[in-house]
Structure 1
Amino acid sequence: MVTKITTEIHIENNYYLSSKNNNNAIDLAGIDTIPLSEWFDTWLNALDDSLPQANGYELSLRFTSDREIATFNNQYRQKNQPTDVLAFAALESEVVSPLELTEFLYLGDIVISLDTAYRQAKEQHHSPVTEIAWLASHGLLHLLGWDHPDDYSLKKMWQKQAILLKLVEITD
């Protein structure tokens, strides 16, 4: 069903970890080599049965710092702390019928803190690319209506994420 996925990538310039130690600077050069659009296209094709019908899908992906994501987290979730990923779904209301669609269906926005992603990658003993994939797939599932209000729901979501990651050849 998916004919094209458009992914808008925002990367801050001169990005550094919140830490004052410059030895912890994040090298963003590798971010450009991550096949994010291909990942989302693969994932959306795999999730096709659960998607509203559309000519294509669009989402926005923003990489940011702990400082900025904490601002968003406080503003939208009333939690005054950084988090790893936030998703702002555009599909909260009913979707127009496929016959009326002439544009791509906008799914929403995903925001990932690179500070937290790199920290979690180190804690989990896997690469930052694996962590970014994990967070991006988690954000996508949120855009599509998945939630985890309890441990059971969270485990189901993690299982779905593991399946999505295998599709893009990321295993850990």
Structure 2
Amino acid sequence: MSSAAAFAIDLAFTGAEERLIHCAEGTGAHLRLSREESWTSTLHLWLQHLIAAGGDSAPAQLQVCEEICLGLQFVDDAQISDLNGRWRNKPRATDVLSFSALEADMPADSSPSVELGDIIVSVPTAERQAIEQDHSLEQELCWLVSHGLLHLLGWDHPDESSLETMLQCQEQLVAMAGIVQSRCEINCESADEITAES
């Protein structure tokens, strides 16, 4: 049995195209949009925290794995609208999509690797929301990715109480990334068990 600190992150990262990056090179937002390393360390920190918290914070499979695999992609509004239409019959832009690969009732096994799924973030929508919320683009990106990650782990917000719990957890995660977070609105879409190829 591995400890929460012993797992590795296998991140399939697709950074934003240059045309979507409107921030200075070397800034936090630029690094988040273009460098896998900034997300690998942040996601490891977040997952380590959630696994250590136990309970419903993270699936049991993560307690015993050696590697956690997930995808993170930054796209434009047209691309996320296409995905939203194809998988959820909602052909409109949204800020974040989560495609979970975990089955909620899947028993823990001895596999050393666990596939979580994919998080897709619209850069133009994130930019607009950062302006609307009067905070940095880096903060918005961390907010959206943390929300997507929680969906991959089985979190949902069908009512106000569960949404409040999820938002509180996101605030903790974003603060762990070194960003002071104020309460934001979230406009996410989640899809379970996406198995067909795009």
TM over 0.5: yes
- Stretches of structure 2 that go unaligned for 5 or more consecutive residues are 182-198
Q: For residue 193 of structure 2, what is the aligned residue in structure 1?
A: none
Secondary structure, counterpart of 2:94 in structure 1: coil
Q: Quick check: 2:127–2:137 contact (8 Å CA) kept in 1?
A: yes
| Matched-pair identity in % | 36
Matched pairs, number = 162
TM-score by length of 1: 0.85
Secondary structure, counterpart of 1:81 in structure 2: coil
Q: For residue 8 of structure 1, what is the aligned residue in structure 2?
A: 12
- Stretches of structure 1 that go unaligned for 5 or more consecutive residues are 17-24
Would you say 1:163 and 2:160 are equivalent positions?
no
1:2-47 alpha-carbon deviations (Å, 9 max, x no partner): 421121211243434xxxxxxxx63484123571111100010011
Displacement of 1:121: 0.5
Q: 1:83 to 1:151 in 2, by over 3 A?
A: same
Taking the TM superposition and a 5 Å limit, the aligned residue runs for 1:66-145 are 66-92=77-103, 94-95=105-106, 97-99=108-110, 101-102=111-112, 104-145=113-154
Q: 1:40 to 1:151 in 2, by over 3 A?
A: same
Detail structure 1 runs of 4+ shifted over 6 Å in the superposition: none
Q: Distance in 2 between matches of 1:141 and 1:97?
A: 19
1:127-162 alpha-carbon deviations (Å, 9 max, x no partner): 110000000000000000111122222211111101
Q: 1:97 to 1:127 in 2, by over 3 A?
A: same
Q: Quick check: 2:17–2:75 contact (8 Å CA) kept in 1?
A: no
The partner residue of 2:22 within 14, 22, 26 is 26
Letter in 2 for 1:26: H
